[in-house]
Each structure stands twice: as C-alpha cells, then as structure tokens.
Amino acid sequence: MLLVDDHPLLRKGLQSLVSSSGKFHIIEMPKMNGIDATRWIKTALPHIIVIGLSINQSAVVGNTMKAAGASTCLTKDTAPEDFWHVIRSTLTQHTYNFPGLLARCLVMVALLSMMNCTRLPSIDQKYYSSRLYTLPYERVFDAVHARVAEYPMGIGEADRTDGIVKSRIGQATPGSGATVGYQVNVVVSQVGKQTRVTPDWQMNVSSEPTKTHLVPVSIDERPRLYIEFFEELDKYFKN
C-alpha cells in the first residue's frame, strides 16, 4: 500500500501512524494536486483504490475527489482509529465487489493531499495575505493577540511596540488538528490612519523532537491557514 502526500511533515506523521503495519510505503506527492493525481491513477490503473486525505473539510472538495475516482475522502484531523476503520472497510468493500482482487494484483491506498487544488485567485491571495483596517493600532493589535491565542499552539511572543505577535510551534502529533507543526508570526503596523495585519506561516519539518527546522508556508501552498486567520480576526471588529 502506498501513502502519498506533498509535505514532508505530513508524510512523517503518516509514517509514524502506520509504522507498526509494515505494509505501507511513503512517497512524495508528484507535482500535481490530489484530484488530478487521482484522475491519472484511475485512468492508468483503474483497479487501484484511492482514499483522499485533505485539510479542507468542504463537501465540494470531497465530492470532487470522489468524482475523480476516489472511494472516499478523509480530512487530516481524522482520529487514528477512524483512519484505520475507513481503510479496512474500504478494502473489505472492494474485495467483496471484486472477488480475488487482492490475490491477483497489488492494491495501493493512496492518501492524496488536496491543498494545491484549492489555490486562490490572485485577487483573493492579495486580500488574505495582508489586510488594512481603518481602526486604531491598539485595537487591531489586541484583536490579533486574541486571535493567535485561540490556536492550540498559544502565544509565544507578543510585542506591542514592535507590532509582533508570534505563536509557539505546534507539536507534530498526527490527528491533533490543522495547526499541527505550524507557527504563525503576525506583523501589525501603522500605515497613516490605517493598520496593516500580515500573517506569516511556517511549518516545523524537523524529524528530531529536540530540534526545530521551520520552512515558510505560503498562501499558495496552504490557503486555508490564511483564510481562517482573517475570517476569525474579523469577528473581533464586528462589535
């Protein structure tokens, strides 16, 4: 069975989750999104079983993945026990529908990331990469501080004078949420009578628990991180 994902940290998490089985191989995601990869797999090798795995919980994404040929679609916050249940039940169903399938050929369960299939148009990328608020600096800074504090990582650093709010680094534990292994660094700056907010996401890809290796995560790679940040931040300004 083959596990496929486009990010080193997630491949590492998947590897730790299935290491006891010994029946899985972990490979890097090809330079295509999960939906296109599924179409390619099902066209070339229609007997392959594909299970989608995405951080995006939208029903539209799940339905699109199934239309491309996936048997089902999981989200990346799926609990380990549910992860195994879905794999077993999917394999059982296909074995029942196609007797002797497992005996005649190799069956791969490809867990394909679909982050890249949800890329934002350039106008939306600009809107969610950095935002100007016609509000006092102090109010915006306090709102950003409260927003970052909502994440499981919590506040790591906050400096009102320098306009920096930084979270701690999330722990790389599979199944503990969309912010696993991430850190967000937010710059709040005054621009005339307006206040600009610019989040910067990074992911820890170190395989050693005592060391940190942060790599940038752009809005093009993980748009949901940026969208959810501003969607929740905006709620602080509605009162």
pLDDT attached to residue 20: 57
| CATH number, span 122-235 | 3.30.310.80
Q: What is the pLDDT of residues 153-211, one digit of tens each?
A: 899 999 999 999 999 988 644 343 434 578 999 999 999 999 999 999 998 876 666 77
| CATH number, span 2-118 | 3.40.50.2300
- Which run of H or of E encompasses 146? helix 137-150
**Left, alpha or beta for 57 (phi > 0: left; psi -120 to 50: alpha)?**
alpha
The ranges assigned to domains in the chain are 2-118, 122-235
pTM here is: 0.52
pLDDT attached to residue 87: 75
Pairing relation of β-strands 131-133 and 194-204?
Answer: antiparallel
